[in-house]
Every structure is written in structure tokens, then in C-alpha cells.
Structure 1
Amino acid sequence: MVKSENYWISEHDGIQKEMLLIFNEYLLSLKLENKAKATITKYRSILERFLSECAVPLEEMTSENILQWLTAYSIDKKPRTIDLVLSSLSSFFTFCLEEDYMDDVVMKKRWRPTIPHSLPQFLDEYDYARVRLAIEKLSIRDRALVLFLFSSGCRRSEVSNLNITDVDLKKRTAEVIGKGNKKRTVHFSEECSFILKAYLETRTDQESDYLFINKFGNRLGTQGIYKVTTRVGTQAGLRRALNPHSCRHTFATRMLAKGATLEFIADELGHSDLNTTRGYARIPTEDMITAYQNMMG
């Protein structure tokens, strides 16, 4: 079993020794490219299964070998899962081609499944107001946490990794480390700054430097953050579960509705590709604003 600190190393005993050396060289290349830990871990897991079940030497690997394995694997799998598997295989075989471990292109674009383009899940003004009311009943830590998620648009991993020294309450900014270990500055609301200050005043000098901590004084993990948002969503009586990513989408939607440019939103969210942010442009903001006006006047 691979230790968590060596997530870019595979010790899978079902993979042939020569192939395992190439596979680990590939994983190391992802690490050196600053690919996210979650991405490397997913790719490693998928490719370990493929390389152990399709034990064909690289110089003999054909499209038929891959398609046969993929067909068997894809039974009862969702299109997005299949697409992730294909991305993993394509990445690995591209590496093998570039490093001259194989001569022929074995992946086919036509294998890609059709992925439905669903709108990002976000809270409309009515549900957002209900959550805001529910926040008032939370502990000071959880209030600060949820307000930070809603007003910064950060990923839950970025919030979990924050230290107190990363935050400037006066400027209302925080330095976060996003995907690919890229640093960026995010902003948060004045209300969030006020509640964060109140939360930090409850902390003792002996406690850790982590911004959000659990009851044991350790860093509040991503699962802990997820549980907080789920709980507040339930207390607010939302029709579907509230999660940190919903907070992130709600932040982007509200910024778009207020006239923020896609470039600004992309910078705040840490999107390296503006096309990722363009998904928010499909949100019917005018309808949302009209609904808000009808309810609130």
C-alpha cells in the first residue's frame, strides 16, 4: 500500500516490473508538473487497475487491447467516470509516446462519451436568504467558515489549508494555494472579516496557527467543512444538500449578477482557463434578479 506522503509512487504488485518502472516515471512527471494531489491519486488508481488487468507490453499495446478492457470496465459506469478513465489513459500513453516507450497512437477520440452540460448548482436569492438566517444559529467558528466560503469562492481544500498568517482582516484578503500549488489572493466580505475576528478572539495563544480548527485543536479537514455546510443546508430546509462547491458556485453567480467580468471571477476562483469560468455565463442571471425583485421588492 502506498503511503499518503508518496502518492506519486505505485507499488502495485500486479503490474509487471518493467511496466511499473515506466508507470512510476510517469507519476513523477505529474508531480513535477505540480498536478494536484487528488488528480495524481485518481490517475494512479485508475492506471493501476488498467495495467494490472491489461498486462500487455507497451511495444505490443494496440487500440483493440485498450478498447476491450474499456468495454468491460464501462459496464454500469456513468459517462463522467468513463471520461475520467479515458483522460487517465490518454495522459499515460501520451507520456509513453513522448518518451519513446511506444511508437503508435493507441487512443481514439471517438471513444469519448457525450457529457451532458449541466448548469453549476447554486443558491437562488430565496435559498441564499434562508441559509443566511440559519447561519445566525451556528457556532462562531461555523459562521465564519460558511461566510468565508460564500464570500471568497474558495475550494474547501483551500480553506482547510489556510493559516491565520495567510489572512489580512483589515484588507479582507487571504493568500490561498490552489490547484497545481498556485498561490493567489482572494477577497472576503466585511461581515466575514468581522465574524472571523470574533472567532479568532475566542482562540488562545497556545492553540495552533491553523485558521479553522476542530475540537481537538487540529486543522479542520475537508470532510469537516463538508459536514458544516451539509448541516446548515439541512437547518435552512433546502431542497438539496448544501456543499462547499455549491457555495463556490453561488459566489460566482452572485458576482456575475452584480456585473463582475468573467476575468475577475476567474481570478478569484483560481481558474487557469477562462473557458472553465464561461460555464457561469449560461446562468440565467436576469431571471434570477427578476425573481429576487418579485420576492423582495
Structure 2
Amino acid sequence: MLGKLIKYEMKSQGFMYAGIYIVVMILSIVTFGAYKINTAMGGNPVFSTIYRFAVAGAVIALIVMFIITLVMSILRYRNNLLKDEGYLMHTLPVSAASLHFSKMIASIIWFAADFIVLMLSIGFITGDLKYSWIKKLKMFMSAETDGTATGMVISGITGTVVAITVLYIIISIISALSTFYVCLDLGSLSYSSKGIMAFVWYIILYFVGQILSLIGLVILCIIMYGGNFMEVMQMPQSDAATIDFVKGTFIMAGIISVILIIVYNFISIYILDRKLNLE
């Protein structure tokens, strides 16, 4: 049943997202055309200006695309599960967990689609459809060190770090959705001013997250430096230590995010299943 719910979510929003992606790609292709014309004209001021405006329009469209995806993820959850449509959705022979995760998974899929469109757009905007910049970046990251501090930093940026960064981005998206959803669920428990209460809960959970991050940083310092915070302050003197600390920070932040994701989703499902208030 979860698969059917996800399919319904994707289908109900497919037309809108298709329109957004078409607009973004058209602007990107127009930018590519402006780039080619500007290059052919030898950097003529008029065509250079047109090219700059085209780039600005394409970049703005990409930013708006991600904003719309986030806003729609929040509105779909709120309108389908916590407002009048919720009366129908909650009569379906499916669990509260399925309803909850169908919204989240569908949103994650749309964010993944946004990223694919982003990569395609970058190819058109930069006029580099072969994405040679990826190869150059890879060469830069695998550059041999020359014994200098910069070389040591470059050598520390390995494929593992890139993988951790990508994983952290994915976790951050899931964490953001989980936070927004639980705030809406907690806000729905109020019999008035549900929107305001959801915002209040967001502020509360934001500070909770910051406190946990600070605690995690302290724990990391204790693990890596035995609580010697003076060594942490002197860390920039050692590039290798800096890289290790940055890796540790990413890992600790990821662990905290995963814990919060589990807790937030548990609360959301519990409210949808036991404490739902659609009044």
C-alpha cells in the first residue's frame, strides 16, 4: 500500500513539477545559446549583458525550483493529513506510518529530480555539456602533495570525505522534512492557532538541535583530544589534525541528525495514529 500512496503522490504533483522542470531547462538552453552567441561575437558588450541576464535568470529559476519543492512538501503534508482532506486520507485502510512516509519519500524523490535537473542546467549554463569540470575537480582532489600545508589539505580530501558529504546532504534533507512534519503535527494538537504553534515548535526544536550539536562537539573533543580544549584551539597549526576534526564533526553531526530523524518520525506517526486533531 505504501507504494500505491507514493505513486499517487508522484502522479498528483507530476504535472506541476514537469512544468517547473521545462521552464528551468528552457532558461538553461537559452543561456547556452546566449553563451554561444556571446563567444561568437567576441565578447560584445551588448551580448555579454544579455548573457549575464540569461545566467541570472537560470540561476534564479534553479533556486526557486528547490524552494517550491520544499514549500510543496510542507503544504502537501499539512493539507492532506492535518486539514480537511485528512478526514478522507485517514479513512483509507493504511497505517499512519504509511501516510507519513509516503509524503516524505515522495518529497525526497522530487528533491532527487531537482538535483538531476540542476546538473543538466549546469551543463547548459556553463556551456560544458561534457562536464569536464568534474574531471578537473577529481584531478584537483587527487593532486599529489608538494609538502606544503595546502598540499597536505588537498591530500586529505579523499573520496571518503566526498561520500560522507553527499550522505550528509541526504541526511540533512530528510532531517529538514522530519523537522517540518513533526512541527506541523505538534502544532495540530492545538485547538487554535495551529500554524503559530507549529512555528513555535520549530523554534523550540531548532534550539534543541543546537544544544545537541554543542554537546556532540564537546563529546568529539573529549574523544579526539581527551578534553584538552587548548589543543583544539591550536588545531589549525596541524593540517592533518584539522582534516580529522572536520571529518569527526561531519560524522558527529550526522549521528545527531539520524537520532533526531528517528525521534521526530516516531512522534509524527504517534500523533497521526493516536492524537490526531483535525478540528
What is the TM-score when the length of structure 2 is the normalising length?
A: 0.25
Greater relative contact order: 1 or 2 (C-alpha under 8 angstroms, separation 6 or more)?
2
If each structure's helix is expressed as a fraction of its own residues, which one has the higher value?
Answer: 2
What is the TM-score when the length of structure 1 is the normalising length?
A: 0.24
